[in-house]
Amino acid sequence: MSRPSESSNEVGGEVTVVWTDGACLGNPGPGGWAWARSSESFAAGHEDHTTNQRMELLAVIEALAAQPGPVEIRSDSTYVVNCFKDRWWAGWRARGWKNSQGKPVANQDLWHRLIATVVDERPGEIVFTWVKGHANDPMNNMADELATTAARLQQPRESLR
């Protein structure tokens, strides 16, 4: 039986490590999202018409909703990771939800939810780490497989032990 992954990092104390991924068959098209802590603790869901970036965001939102306390999100999405590492969110808020080119931030509905969780509701509890996709990280590969399968089958799947 696999235990949920734990580590210690700048958040302090025991940190639950969760891998997330989003997938889309066509962009836009049928999509899937997934998070995984271990081979026995994961969830995946789907939307019938969406984009890959929306699925990446939803994977993190769903992962954080299922994990209390300090969490390290490991994602192959620079879109998600860089928002927090480079504090894009602070600029978006300061500019009235406009990006650096003065255009409305894409996927604002999901960004509002995610940023509220990470920055406002759970400050200092959540960190983001980028991992190379389609490489030798078994848990990233598992999250990718779960998200891709959810997109293809348009069916949710979970095992929350």
CA-based nearest residue to 13, from 120, 119, 125, 117: 125
Annotated catalytic residue within 21, 47, 62, 125: 21
The span from the CA of 145 to the CA of 155, in Å, is 13
| List 47, 56, 62, 125, catalytic entry | 56
* Under 8 Å between Cβ of 111 and 57: yes
Of 10, 109, 120, 134, the active-site residue reads 134
Query: Catalytic residue at 46?
Result: no
Q: For residue 35, give Cα distances in angstroms to 13, 61, 98, 100, 103.
A: 22, 10, 29, 30, 30
- Active-site annotation holds for 62: no
Marked catalytic residue, from 47, 72, 76, 125: 76
Is 10 part of the annotated catalytic residue set?
Answer: no
Instruction: Based on the residue annotation, tell me whether 56 is a catalytic residue of this protein.
Output: yes
- Looking at the annotation, which residues are catalytic? 21-22, 56, 76, 134, 144
